[in-house]
Amino acid sequence: MVKIINDKDLPILELEIGEKLKKEDYDKIRPALEEKVERYGKVNVLICMQEFPDFTVGALLEDLKLAIKNYSNMSKVAIVGSDDKLKHTSKLDKVFPGVEMKTYENSRIDEARHWLKT
C-alpha cells in the first residue's frame, strides 16, 4: 500500500509506504513522479516507512523499472523509518550515483522535509 502526499508547489514527492507494495502501487507512483519531473526537471523524494515493505514480484519489477528510468531526475531522497528498518537502506546511495540520500528516524521527519526543501 502506498499513500502519495503531493504538494504541487514543491518539487518533492512524499510517499507513505505500507507493509506490502504491489504492482498497482507503482501505477499510482509513476504518474505522480512523472508529473513532478515534467514540472520541475529534478525531484526530491521522501519515503516514509513504518515497516520495511514486502514486495510482490510484479512490484519489484516495477520498482526497478521506475528507478532505472527516473533516478537521473532525482536530486535527493530521504528515507524515514525506524532504526531497525533503516539498516536495510544503508547501501542505496551506491546503487544510484549522483542522488543524495539520507535516512532519518521517524521522530526526525520534519528534519528530512527541511533537508529536501534546501
Confidence (pLDDT) at 26: 80
Along the chain (118 residues), what's the average pLDDT of each consecutive run of 10 residues? 86 87 81 91 88 50 57 87 66 70 92 96
C-alpha cell at 71: 533516478
Residue 54 pLDDT = 52
Grid cell, residue 75, equals 536530486
Q: Which amino acid is at 55?
A: F
* 64's grid cell: 526497478
pLDDT of 18: 80
Quote the number of domains for the chain.
1
- The pTM is what? 0.81
Predicted local distance difference test score (pLDDT) of residue 89: 62
pLDDT at 104: 92
Exposure class string for 69-105: b at 16+ Cβ within 10 A, else e = ebeebbebbbbbbeeebbeebeeeeeebeebebebbe
Q: What is the CATH number of the domain that holds 84?
A: 3.30.750
Domain extent for 57: 2-117
Q: Is 50 exposed, middle or buried (0-12, 13-18, 19+ CB in 10 A)?
A: middle
